[in-house]
Amino acid sequence: DDIRDYFAARPRLHPPPVLVVMTQIDRLRPVNEWQPPYDLGDERRPKVRNIVDALAAIAQDLAVATLDIVPVCLAPGRSYNVEDVLWAAILERQSVADRARTLRCLDSARRGEQGRLMW
């Protein structure tokens, strides 16, 4: 709300894009069901239903579109939606120059150059 108010009071400024990262989706019930990938359009699986419900709750609480929320898991050995969906969402919201710089940093990180520092 503070960010929205700040930019509403300054119409000449462009507000930054908002991206919400919903972490720890592996801990949503049923906790023992961890079989990604999850198709959020197919709510027959209990885990998927709970992910979708959590997305809706966060979207309502933060007044953001569900498309601006990325569900991820960062737990060791369970990383999900980070390398593909999260980075794609970040790049989508960047300017062309920032996107090129981020891609160069990602490439360096993949090669092991300052990967820890970037993360």
98-119 pLDDT tens trace: 877 787 788 777 777 555 555 5
Tokens for 46, please give them: 């209990």
pLDDT of residue 113: 58
- Predicted confidence (pLDDT) per residue in 68-105, tens digit: 999 999 999 899 999 899 999 998 888 866 877 787 78
Helix (H) or strand (E) segment spanning residue 69:
strand 69-71
Half-sphere exposure of 17 (CA within 13 A, CB side): 11
Q: What is the per-residue pLDDT for 108? A: 76
pLDDT value, residue 116:
58
> What's this model's pTM, rounded to 2 decimal places?
0.77
Quick one: the chain helix, strand, coil %, rounded to 5? 50, 5, 45
In the chain, the N- to C-terminal Cα span, in Å, equals 28
